[in-house]
Chains A and B, each alone.
Chain A
Amino acid sequence: MTTATEQAGETPRTHYLNVNYGIRSWLLTTDHKRIGILYLISVTLFFALGGVMAVLIRLELATPQGDLFQADQYNRLFTMHGILMIFFFLIPSIPAVLGNFLVPIMIGARDLAFPRLNLLSWYIFNIGGLFTFWALLHGGVDTGWTFYTPYSSTYSGTHVIAVALGIFIAGFSSILTGLNFVVTIHRMRAPGLTWFRLPLFIWSMYATSLIFILGTPVLAVTLLLLGAERLFHIGIFDPAIGGDPLLFQHLFWFYSHPAVYIMVLPAMGVVSEIIPAFARKKIFGYRFIAYASVALAVLGFLVWGHHMFVAGQSIYAATVFSVLSMLVAVPSAVKVFNWTATLYKGSISWETPMLYVLGFIGLFTMGGLTGVMLATLGIDLHVHDTYFIVAHFHYIMVGGAIMGYLGGLHYWWPKITGKLYPKVWSRIAAVVVFIGFNVTFFPQFILGYLGMPRRYHSYPPEFQVLNVMSSAGATILGVGYVIPLIYFFWSMRYGKDAASNPWGAVGLEWETTSPPPTDNFETTPVVTSEPYHYTRPAEAPGVL
């Protein structure tokens, strides 16, 4: 394999990890790569916390009686699970970790446009996290991650304001990250790097940033209004003065539907990088995939009402939202088909990142197609607020987005840390995750159509068999997530050194050393070709 051949005999090269040491050099860093790693630490902690709650949820649901926790404890569990996983793990995961690390490198820049703002974003994110964590220690919150009024504004006795504030604050970190990316991508590309030479990961980051910028503020103001209503006992969602609880839902979903594309677009970007790398060929339909990213970002803002089909919304509005939701499936379909077509006549190696990515395509397709079922008005009438929904979104978010995130981590890990992880273990983990995932969440589709409502602490006994399956699957899934955690840690100390381009991939990030120097490149690169330029073998250094 590729050991330190390049650096043999020389003094250790300085790179961003060893330029300076000590906690201060990390906490005060403005280097986008180090900030990416700071985020990696933060989101992993939140994921573990949310994961532990998921385990407790599944433990409770293994029996129908609701005997492990009190009802109100259970309600806090799934609420905190949803909030931590969505706002503190999945939304920042790929953008803030991989995006931070890769965006400047992939466009040949020395750093993001606003490095100090970038560090500030990380602090803001953690302050928001601390608020939420504080609330968690003091009993948490029990409104569901959706905070529907008037339950959240009037009836809940838990720390709604603290958590809303936590999310509000963390939202600013999203906004600032998005702002940083947009400005960087617009203004700091290397010479020759035109829009249609950008890697598709950059396109998806750009589309994601658009949603950050235009969606997050609406959530912020909505949460502010909710907090004010709780504080002053009067406000604009209050039915007592003619307020409409549905307005809260409109405003909430105006952000939160696009937010699901915040979660999946970056994963799609990762997929678009990994597939050509492991099929060693140019991606099929580059432009269509690029446009589809932007189309998803825009169309994603037009469909929020599909969460309110049975909420008391006018049926005419529901019809409009339904047809628009159907449209949004088209760009997703375009992507899936283009990825699949890329495999045709490729030279495919089943490395770990590729395993995750192929898993992503399959599970995302299933999650997406069930999404289309939900967007079908007649079906949603029955399955709204049942486990069918729970299964749908875990298929996309856990089966899709997290698979993409893990695939990306495995793909760029050698670049980020300069170390290689054990191949066999990583493949085993990928398979365990895939199996555990399906065992956990497939039964939930059946449960949902049977009519088991979500957010249920206890349930009728005839649903038990499927629930036990799901709980058993969650155990497998949990093991699957812990294995990478172990070998990633292991690799940082004991892993072999990685070469600049361990996969033989094409892209600016593979042209610099692993790990890259603080300024990313020795000299500013000049781009002269299309992305994914795999045709001539000479260009792929045979380092494998």
Chain B
Amino acid sequence: MSSDAISLPAHQFDSLEQQREVASLGMWVFLATEIMFFGGLFAAYTIYRVSYPLAFIAASRQLDVTLGTLNTAVLILSSLTMALAVRGAQQGKRAPMLAFLPLTMILGAVFLGVKAFEYHHKWVEHLVPGAGFLLPGADARHAQMFFCLYFAMTGLHALHMIIGLGILTVMLAMAWRGRFTSTYHNPMEVSGLYWHFVDIVWIFLFPLLYLVGRHG
């Protein structure tokens, strides 16, 4: 399609400006639903953590802080590159997008790789809840609860990352074809919001899952 076709607002809007605001508000409202979606899990986590503090400490110690910290850094870096890609889009420059979008995706993939490695480890160490669960020491039953939550929370987070990678692939294709201009780049903005949100979820998951009772 030619580029002037896209620089007209869609028929329900009066202006591109309105269209842009609508897109961004739409994404923010969607993120509000996402907060509540993860919120159910955070609530469950809080309740069980308060109920079984010792088991949670014992179980949390089984996680690998180094990998967790590394992954946090990777994800933060990917947020930076994403922000820079969006910045390119805002200026209507193709080159930064073509550089930073793939970079962001690679970092996302690294994160998922590390996560997969951790999952594998948990499997080998018999820390996956179920019949094979084996945690030496106290209160193995409630420790399973921790791991149920761990897998549910990080699993859903990973799913969001995978969806994010899909979205970024589309963005990359659009950027490649020069679809974005300094007046029209809503899809990039909105995808950026989504990616940063996924980052924020991790920012909370990391201390809650990895850093419980490391001291003492």
Contact = CB atoms under 8 A, between A and B. Distances in A.
A240 B48 CA distance: 14
A236 B40 contact: no
A110 B34 CA distance: 29
A497 interface: no
Interface string A192-236: 000000000000000000000111111011101100100011111
B44 to A, nearest CB: 6
A187 B142 contact: no
Contact of A236 (B14, B39, B48, B130): B48
B51 A222 contact: no
B152 interface: yes
A35 to B, nearest CB: 13
Given A183-B29, A214-B32, A112 B12 contact: yes
B40 A221 contact: yes
Contact of A179 (B33, B37, B130): B33
Contacts of B41: 221, 225
A387 to B, nearest CB: 32
B125 interface: no
B144 interface: yes
A110 B41 CA distance: 39
Given A183-B25, A242-B52, A234 B36 contact: no
Nearest to B155: A228
Contact of B32 (A180, A213, A232, A244): A213
B113 interface: no
A247 interface: yes
B214 interface: no
A242 B29 contact: no
B38 interface: yes
Nearest to A179: B29
B128 to A, nearest CB: 9
Contact of B141 (A215, A240, A250): A240
B5 interface: no
Interface string B115-151: 0000000000000011000000000011011001100
A297 to B, nearest CB: 14
Contact of A187 (B25, B37, B55): B25
B215 interface: no
A182 interface: yes
B12 A113 contact: yes
B145 A243 contact: yes
A115 interface: yes
B47 A114 contact: no
A188 B48 contact: no
B26 A221 contact: no
Contacts of A251: 40, 43-44
State the main secondary structure of chain B at its contact with A.
helix
A21 B37 CA distance: 40
B30 interface: yes
B152 to A, nearest CB: 7
State the main secondary structure of chain A at its contact with B.
helix
Interface in A231-263: 232-236, 240-244, 247, 250-251, 254
Contacts, number: 108
B148 A218 contact: no
Interface in A94-119: 104, 109-115
A499 interface: no
Contacts of B21: 187
A233 B130 contact: yes
Contacts of B55: 242
Interface in B65-113: none
Contacts of A519: 11
A186 interface: yes
A372 to B, nearest CB: 28
B53 to A, nearest CB: 12
Nearest to B47: A247
Nearest to B30: A179
Contact of B33 (A110, A214, A236, A524): A214
A450 B156 CA distance: 47
A240 B144 CA distance: 10
Among the interface residues B37, B51, B149, B156, which one has the most CB atoms of the partner chain A within 10 A?
B37
A175 interface: yes
A183 B22 CA distance: 6
B141 A213 contact: no
B62 interface: no
A188 to B, nearest CB: 7
Given A112-B12, A113-B12, A241-B141, A220 B44 contact: no
Given A214-B33, A216-B33, A247-B44, A188 B141 contact: no
A477 B64 CA distance: 63
A225 B156 CA distance: 11
A432 B39 CA distance: 46
Contacts of A179: 26, 29-30, 33
B18 interface: yes
21 contacts: A188-B12, A188-B18, A188-B22, A217-B36, A217-B39, A218-B36, A218-B37, A221-B41, A225-B152, A233-B130, A236-B148, A241-B141, A241-B144, A241-B148, A243-B48, A243-B145, A244-B51, A247-B44, A251-B44, A519-B11, A524-B14
Given A187-B21, A214-B32, 10 more contacts: A115-B12, A183-B25, A186-B25, A188-B22, A217-B34, A221-B37, A221-B41, A234-B144, A242-B52, A243-B145
Interface of B: 11-14, 18, 21-22, 25-26, 29-30, 32-34, 36-41, 43-44, 47-48, 51-52, 55, 129-130, 141-142, 144-145, 148-149, 152, 156
CB-CB nearest 10 A-B residue pairs: A217-B37, A221-B40, A111-B12, A217-B36, A241-B144, A242-B142, A217-B33, A218-B40, A110-B12, A113-B22
